Amino acid sequence: MSGKEQAESAGADLPCSSLLLDTTAEDHHIARMAAVALGLTILESAIPSPLPGVKPGLANIVTLIVLARYGWRAAAWVSLLRVLAGSLLFGNFLAPGFFLSLSGALCSLVVLGLARHLPVRWFGPVSHSIHAAFAHIAGQMLVVYFWLIPHTGIAYLIPIFAAAALLFGTVNGLIAARFMDSETVAENRKPIRRPQKSYGSPG
Amino acid sequence: MIYKLAMQHIKPGDWLTLLLGGTLVVALTLKLWNGDLADKAIIRSGGKIFREVSLSRDQKIEVPGPLGISIVSIRDRKARIASDPSPRQYCVRQGWLQQAGEIAICLPNQVSVELAGSRSKYDSLNY
């Protein structure tokens, strides 16, 4: 209590709050991408699903792009922030649904960490996405089996989940590859414009 | 458009991943949806049903017979006769039963274990 009051009084003395956090450009990238992922999660929750748990996982598109552009650490941040913030928004923080998302996200992050060392010449975002999708469903099934429904009857659902993982993994990977394409095109355009300016000023 | 997108962005290794993923899905479907996964074990002694037990719980059951006690063991949705006083041990050597309709019979001790699924299948004894 007293600490809080001190902080408030300090805030009153100093109009520029002393609670300013130093943020780096990377933090901003991560926050922005996590926000996009969160938006996709909310969008996705509006799509009706024939079976609970079969979801396109659109937010993983963002994870894939972040992985390719900023590396694994940033992808882990974005993915886990999305899980945490999503659970707060949907009100299932620390509920079973949260742990399902968390285990799925952790498993796919581990697999993505391994999959991105595959030779880039042969394996693209589509492979990463499929691997991540299978890892995601595997992580969820482990939590379901060892904690929520310890009954082997859930084995009947595995083929459906696996087929969905393959389908949505492929689609998400294609979308991510498409986005990365347009990003590299945009990046390639910038250096073309800059020389035009510099040509103008010396002459 | 999707076709063009796929052609542009799927690299050779991605095709390999897709192929492996598809194989995995088909294998899982064939393995898990063959429709006759057993649900319960029917244990008979002396021709009468001694107990019907679910396969979902691992346990050991002692079944008395004329020669002594046979032990039925249930583990990982499989069942077997773990020990039996019969001289030739045919039912013990049969090993784990997994599919519905499989049966292990210890004739001398008049004990048998049969697996049953949601629907009964035809076999050579029961047509």
SS (H, E, C) chain A: CHHHHHHHHHHHHCCCCCCCCCCCHHHHHHHHHHHHHHHHHHHHHCCCCCCCCCCCCCHHHHHHHHHHHHCHHHHHHHHHHHHHHHHHHHCCCCCHHHHHHHHHHHHHHHHHHHHCCCCCCCCCHHHHHHHHHHHHHHHHHHHHHHHHCCCHHHHHHHHHHHHHHHHHHHHHHHHHHHHHHHHHHHHHHHHHHHHHHHHHCCC
Question: Is CATH 2.60.320.10 the classification given to domain B40-116?
Answer: yes
Computed over every residue of chain B, the mean pLDDT equals 85
pLDDT at B125: 58
Between the CA of residue B38 and those of A45, A152, A193, A195, what are the distances in Å?
Answer: 37, 11, 69, 73
Half-sphere exposure at residue B116, Cβ-oriented, CA atoms within 13 angstroms? 14
Structure tokens at A134: 């299978």
pLDDT at B36: 60
pLDDT at B120: 57
Contacts of B17 in chain A (CB under 8 A): 123, 126-127, 130-131
Q: How far apart are the first and last CA of chain A?
A: 67
Q: What is the mean pLDDT of residues A9-30?
A: 72
* Cα B45 → chain centroid: 21
Stretch 100-139 of chain A: residues touching chain B, C-beta under 8 Å: 118-119, 121-127, 130-131, 134
Q: What is the largest CA-CA distance in chain B?
A: 74
When mean pLDDT is compared across A2-11, B36-45, B88-97, the lowest value belongs to A2-11
**ipTM topping 0.85:** no
pLDDT at A172 over 60: yes
Please state, for a pLDDT cut of 90, what percent of chain B lies above it. Answer: 39
Candidate from A119, A158, A166 with C-beta closest to B21: A166
Q: Is B32 on the interface with A (CB under 8 A)?
A: yes
Query: What distance in Å separates the CA atoms of residue A189 and residue B38, rounded to the nearest whole number?
Result: 63
Instruction: Identify the three-state secondary structure at position B10.
Output: coil
Candidate from A126, A134, A166 with C-beta closest to B14: A126
Query: What distance in Å separates the CA atoms of residue B84 and residue B67, rounded to the nearest whole number?
Result: 9
Structure tokens at B66: 């004329």
pLDDT at A192 over 50: no
Cβ neighbors of B32 (< 8 A, separation 6 or more) are A155, A156, A158, A159
Per-residue burial over A6-20, b if 16 or more Cβ lie within 10 Å, else e, is eeeeeeeeeeeeeee
Q: Which domains does chain A have, with CATH numbers?
A: 24-191 (1.10.1760.20)
Question: Which residue type sits at B51?
Answer: R
Question: Which residue would you say has higher pLDDT here, B120 or A200?
Answer: B120
- pLDDT band at B116, cuts 50/70/90? confident
Sign of CA dihedral A54, A56, A58, A64: positive
pLDDT at B39: 79
pLDDT at A11: 45
pLDDT at A7: 47
Is there a contact between B12 and A122 (Cβ–Cβ < 8 Å)?
yes
- pLDDT band at A187, cuts 50/70/90? low
- Which one, of B45, B39, B109, lies nearest residue B79 by Cα? B39
pLDDT at A87: 93
Query: What distance in Å separates the CA atoms of residue A59 and residue A67, rounded to the nearest whole number?
Result: 13
pLDDT at B126 over 70: no
Q: What is the mean pLDDT of residues A172-186?
A: 84
Q: What is the mean pLDDT of residues B81-89?
A: 90
pLDDT at A3 over 80: no
Q: What is the mean pLDDT of residues A163-186?
A: 88
Please state, for a pLDDT cut of 90, what percent of chain A lies above it. Answer: 54
Computed over every residue of chain A, the mean pLDDT equals 83
* Cα A9 → chain centroid: 39
Q: Kindly report, residue by residue over A34-49, the tens digit of the pLDDT.
A: 999 999 999 988 888 8
Q: Kindly report, residue by residue over B13-55, the tens digit of the pLDDT.
A: 999 999 999 999 999 988 887 756 677 889 999 888 999 888 8
Structural domain boundaries of chain B?
Answer: 2-32, 40-116
Q: Is B24 on the interface with A (CB under 8 A)?
A: yes
Q: Is A54 on the interface with B (CB under 8 A)?
A: no
Edge to edge, the sheet with strand B40-45 lists: B48-54, B40-45, B111-116, B103-106
pLDDT at A31: 93
Between the CA of residue A135 and those of A107, A142, A155, A194, what are the distances in Å?
Answer: 5, 10, 16, 43
